[in-house]
Amino acid sequence: MRENLACVLSQNMAFTDCMKPTDFAAEKKGIKMKNWRNRIRFLLKTNSSKSILHLMTTGPHRPTADDVQQWAQSLDRLLSHKYGKAAFYIFLKSEYCEENIEFWTACEEFSILTSKKEMASKANSIYEDFIQNEAPKEINLDFHTKNDIAESLHEPTTACFLSAQRKVYSLMENNSYPRFIYSDLYKELSAAARGEGKHIKS
pLDDT, tens digit (0-9, with 9 covering 90-100), for 20-42: 444 444 444 444 444 545 555 44
Kindly report the CA angle at 30 between 23 and 97, in degrees rounded to 5? Answer: 20
In sequence order, what are the residues at sequence separation of 6 or more whose Cβ sits closer than 8 angstroms to the Cβ of residue 191? 197, 198
How many other CB atoms are there within 10 angstroms of residue 29's CB atom? 7
How far apart are the C-alpha atoms of 131 and 150, rounded to whole Å? 9
pTM over 0.75: no
What does the mean pLDDT of the chain come to? 78
What is the per-residue pLDDT for 73? 97
CA 188 to chain centre: 19
What is the pLDDT at residue 172?
Answer: 97
**Average pLDDT estimate for 140-158:** 95
| Model pLDDT, residue 38 | 55
Greater model confidence, 106 or 6? 106
- Please, what's the b/e burial string for 120-142 (b: 16 or more CB within 10 A of its CB; e: otherwise)? eebbeebbebbbeeebebbbbbe
Q: What is the mean pLDDT of residues 50-69?
A: 71
37 touches 51 (CB < 8 A):
no
How many Å from the N-terminal Cα to the C-terminal Cα in the chain?
35
CB atoms within 10 A of CB 27: 13
- Is residue 167 scored above 80 in pLDDT? yes
Query: Tell me, what DSSP letter sits at residue 81?
Result: S
